Amino acid sequence: VRAARRVSPGSAGLAVQEGRLALLAGDRGAALAAFDRADELARGDASQRRYIAATLRSAGLDAEAGRWESISTAPPSDRP
């Protein structure tokens, strides 16, 4: 029997912080992977997506920020 994996609410926040640190280090790929993980952990929460978009925009990644803004209300299965 496989136990269901429980995700604490802070896990998505930790993944976002990991993404922010990756941006500071100049690792765009790692940052985007961390933000995708945060989105999955937050189960597609629109406020989390808006925060990710704002974080990307503040780092000068406007195209990526626009992508996150456009999916901020879409469920994870409908993401581009």
List pLDDT tens digits, range 51-73. 888 998 999 989 888 888 787 65
* Confidence band for 18, pLDDT divided at 50, 70 and 90: very high
Asked whether residue 46 carries a pLDDT value surpassing 60, the answer given is yes
How far is it, in rounded angstroms, from Cα 31 to Cα 77? Answer: 21
17-22 mean pLDDT:
92
Residue, of 71 and 26, whose pLDDT is higher: 26
Give the whole-angstrom CA distance, residue 42 versus residue 12: 6
C-alpha–C-alpha distance, residues 22 and 3, integer Å: 32
